Amino acid sequence: MSNFADMNPVKTSIHRFPGCPEGLPEYHATLQVQDGSLPFESQLEAILKAYQEVSAGKTVLLRRFFLSDPAKQAHLLKSLLQDLPAAATSIIGQPPLNGTQIAAWVYAVSGGEYKDGIFAHNGYTHSWVGGMKSEENGSEAQTAALFKAYDTSLAAKGMNVADHCLRTWIFVRDVDNNYGGVVKGRRDYFNGIGLTSNTHFIASTGIAGFSARPQNLVCMDAYAASGLQTGQIQYLHAYDHLSPTALYGVTFERGTAVTYGDRQHVFISGTASIDKEGQVLHPDNPQKQAERMLENVDALLQEADAGFGEIVYSIVYLRNAADYPSVREVLQKRCPMLNPVYVLAPVCRPAWLVEMECMAVNGIGDKRFAAL
C-alpha cells in the first residue's frame, strides 16, 4: 500500500509491503524537496530530517542521493551521514528536474539481521552496495575493474557476480563518449565469467551520472542475493515489444523477477522508447517517447503478473531539462499513482530523450519457497 504526504519542504512518498507473519515488512521511499529557492544546506537538512523519520526503527539497505553538483555538495552530505546508522550509500550527480538540488531514494526493512553490509533472514542473504568507483585509464578499464572488485567483495560473502548478482546501476560521466567503453568492458568481463546470451545477464540501468571526482568515469551500485532456489528467478523479455539486448551488442536483462514465499520483487531495467527490432521510436518527440517507454515498462511488468499500481519506486531520466514538463504531464496522465524522481541524465543513445526504471512488489508468492 502507499502513503503520500507533504512534509514541508520535502514531499515523501512511502510504499510499504507488509509481508506475511514469516516475512519482513519492506519500505521504499522517495524524498523530494519542494522549494528550489532554499539554499543547499537547508535542502540537505530537510532531506535528512525526512530520511530519519522514514528510517526510524528500520534497517536501511540502500540510500541513494541525487545531487546537482557533487563536487560542491558531496562532502557535506557525507559528513552528516556519518552520524546516522550505516547503510549502503550511493551519491550521484543527477540533478533533480524540479528545480531543487537534492533528492533521495531509500529502501528499508523491519527485522532481520544486518551486519557489515549483509542482511540475512529466512535463509536468504542480501548484499546491497553503493558508490563503487575506479580510477583506471578509460571507461572500458574502469568498468572491468569495477566488476572484478565487486566479484572479489562478493566472494568474501560466499557469493559471485555470475550466480548471485540481480541488479546493477552503472553511472557514466559524459555518457555519449564513454558508454561504448562501458559496453565493451562489461561484455568482456561477462564472457570471462560465463554470462552470455545463452545463459543470462543482469538487470541494469546504464545512464549518465557523475561523482565528485572527475577521474571517476564509471560508478556502480549493485544488489546480490544468495539462498535462492531453482525457479525463484525469472528473466523478463517482452519480445513482442522489445528486442533482446544482445541484438545491439549490450549485455543486460530487460527485467528480473524474484519470487519468495510471500511476495515477488520485479526489477525493471532502464527502459526507453525502443521496438522489438532494437530501433529508437519517435526520435524527436519526447511525449511520444514517454508513451512508448511506459508501454514497454507495462509489457515487462505484465510478464511478471505485475502492474503500475505495484511500483514501489521509479526514476525517470531525461536528456533535456526542457522536456521535463511535457514528459511529466504524460506520466501524470497515464500513471497518476506514481511519484517518480525526475533527474537530468542522458540515456546511452543520443536519440533517446527519456528513460525509466522501476521496481514493483506484489503479493504473488510461491509456498515452495521461504518468505523474504
Statement to judge: residues 252 and 366 lie in one domain = yes
Statement to judge: residues 110 and 209 lie in one domain = no
CA atoms within 13 Å, Cβ hemisphere of 22:
13
Statement to judge: residues 114 and 180 lie in one domain = no
Domain boundary among 100, 119, 138: 119
Model confidence pLDDT, tens digit, residues 139-190: 999 999 999 999 999 999 999 999 999 999 999 999 999 999 999 999 999 9
Distance CA 364, CA 265 (A): 9
CA-nearest of 142, 313, 157, 312 to 224 is 157
Statement to judge: residues 235 and 219 lie in one domain = no
Statement to judge: residues 159 and 109 lie in one domain = no
Distance CA 90, CA 199 (A): 29
Statement to judge: residues 34 and 96 lie in one domain = yes
CA atoms within 13 Å, Cβ hemisphere of 174:
9
Distance CA 193, CA 364 (A): 32
pLDDT over 80 (residue 3): no
Q: Give the CATH number of the domain where residue 263 resides.
A: 3.30.1330.40
- Considering its fold, how many domains does the chain have in total? 3
Model confidence pLDDT, tens digit, residues 185-234: 999 999 999 999 999 999 999 999 999 999 999 999 999 999 999 999 99
Please give the backbone phi and psi of residue 292, each rounded to the nearest 5 degrees, phi first: -70, -40
Distance CA 363, CA 29 (A): 19
Statement to judge: residues 73 and 91 lie in one domain = yes
Average confidence score pLDDT of the chain: 96
Q: How far, in Å, are 31, 120, 128, 203, 296 from residue 236 at the CA level?
A: 29, 26, 22, 9, 11
Helix (H) or strand (E) run with residue 12 in it: strand 10-17
Statement to judge: residues 261 and 290 lie in one domain = yes
Among 66-70, 238-242, 246-250, 288-292, which stretch is predicted with the lowest mean pLDDT?
Answer: 246-250
Model confidence pLDDT, tens digit, residues 237-246: 999 999 999 9
Residue 130: domain span: 122-227
Domain boundary among 76, 93, 119: 119
Domain boundary among 94, 119, 144: 119
Per-residue pLDDT averaged across 306-330, rounded?
A: 98
- 7: confidence class by pLDDT, cuts 50, 70, 90: very low
Q: What is the pTM of this model?
A: 0.96
